[in-house]
Structure 1
Amino acid sequence: MMLQTMLIMLALTSPFSVQPTAEPAAMWQGNQSVELAVKKSAPTQILPIEQQNEFKTVNDISLQDTKSEVLSKKGYPEQTKEDLILGSREYIYDDVTIGIIDGTVSYIQVKKDATYLKVNDVYMELTPRSIKHTLGEPDFIAEDGDVYIKGHQAVKVYLDENQHLKQVEFFDEASF
């Protein structure tokens, strides 16, 4: 008897049971269309660099990035070497050299043959003219290039004697 009761219960609860199932009445009442609701956010506006208070990133690397953040963003470098003068470990990539001191980025050198220069999410060509057009007039002109300062960070555009680009460096102003 117990076995028969279990078989009947199994048959009634089985997904293969042919008994009709009750459907909620509310499911079939009213309009059956489905609409997707999407909240649109206001587009983020990037201010021109001359209106920004600080340099935050160069080519997506900041001076607050740690070694692990650099490796996460850029991958493993082609080469590393010790800079005995600055006391940094340089991570050398095809487009940039990143100096790390005590586990944190100290400077970023963008090589002249890099594809682009990106400062605070603003792209520009790696030419003195494009950089000056985008960053504005330099805060001061050194013998070896133009220096732009925002907040406590500086971007220096190194130029040779013919005013051709040698490299661009991003660093904390206290270090120069």
Structure 2
Amino acid sequence: MKKVIGLAVAACLLMVVVMIGILHPAYAPSPALVLGNEEIQGAAVQPVPFAEIAYIDEAPPAEAAGNPVAMDFSKVNGVSLDDGKEQVVTNIGIPDSSSKDELFEEQTVWSYADMKVGFIENKVDYVSIPKDAKVVELHGTKLPITVEGWTEKFGEPMFKAEDGVGYVDPRGFAAKLFFKEGTNQVVSVDFFWADQQ
């Protein structure tokens, strides 16, 4: 039995050494060799995450399709759909109230004067802005909460449903203008990951 445990431990250690070698090869040049020690002292060397590189290099389909403006719904009224609760508090402050979602018990909803932010565990799941807020801010650009305003900015909606119309940006974030039941009157605009609906 001791031999089996010893072999298992040795195999695990070997796997750790192999993984370290794969993730950070010993032959990779250090920044000091590439830039020189003088340049390193004044420069902050930070790797760029792969997702950012891929996003920067891609031409957004909205521009290719001839829509007036490229869409980006990843940051709404100061909240990013990638944020955790701590980042939301840092960016927009403490919510007026917090409650469990009426339909999904695993969701927590933080209510602010001009919007609601839904969370699953610690991550933002959606941002909902009521029509009464009049405008929504997307990366510093203010946009009215009307179908006409959105059509003027982004072209015709990409999808239509009984309860509203919407758009999906190149990164997979969706924006949906929800209608009052049986009408075309906008009641809110919600932002979420496109694969949720």
Taking the aligned partners of 1:91 and 1:137, their CA distance within structure 2 comes to 31
Matched residue type, 1:121 = G
Distance in 2, Cα, partners of 1:53 & 1:74: 23
Residue of 83, 97, 100 corresponding to 1:82: 100
1:130 paired with 2:149, answer: yes
Structure 1 residues 149, 50: CA separation in 2 closer, same or farther (over 3 Å shift)?
farther
Are 2:77 and 1:56 aligned? no
Report deviation, 1:81.
Answer: 0.3
Preserved contact between residue 95 and residue 115 of structure 1 (Cα < 8 Å): no
1:154 aligns with 2:154: no
CA distance in 2, matches of 1:115, 1:146: 17
Query: How many residues matched?
Result: 130
Identify the residue that residue 65 of structure 1 maps to in structure 2. Answer: 83
DSSP 3-state at the match of 2:94? coil
Structure 2, gaps ≥5 residues long: 1-61
Q: Aligned partners of 2:97, 2:81: CA distance in 1, in Å?
A: 20
Identity of aligned residues (%): 27
Matches of 2:73 and 2:144 in 1, distance apart? 17
1:117 aligns to 2:136 (yes or no): yes
Amino acid at match of 1:119: L
Distance 2:127 2:160 in 1: 20
Residue 167 of structure 1 is matched in structure 2 by 188
Q: Which residue of 1 aligns with 2:162?
A: 143
Q: What is the root-mean-square deviation in Å for CA atoms of aligned residues?
A: 2.1
| TM-score w.r.t. length of structure 1 | 0.67
- Counterpart-to-counterpart distance in 2, 1:57 and 1:79: 22
SS in 1 for 2:151: helix
Equivalent position SS for 1:171: strand
Change (3 A) 1:92 1:152: same
Shift of 1:123: 1.1
The one-character-per-residue Cα deviations of 1:116-172 (angstroms, maximum 9, x if unpaired) are 112233211222211221122111111111110112110000112331111000000
What code does the residue aligned with 2:74 have? Answer: K
C-alpha separation in 2, matches of 1:90 and 1:162: 27
Larger of the two Rg values belongs to structure: 1
Per mean C-alpha deviation after superposition, the further-off stretch among 78-87 and 96-105 is 78-87
More helix by proportion, 1 or 2?
2
Confirm or deny: 8 A CA contact 2:136 2:144 kept in the other structure: yes
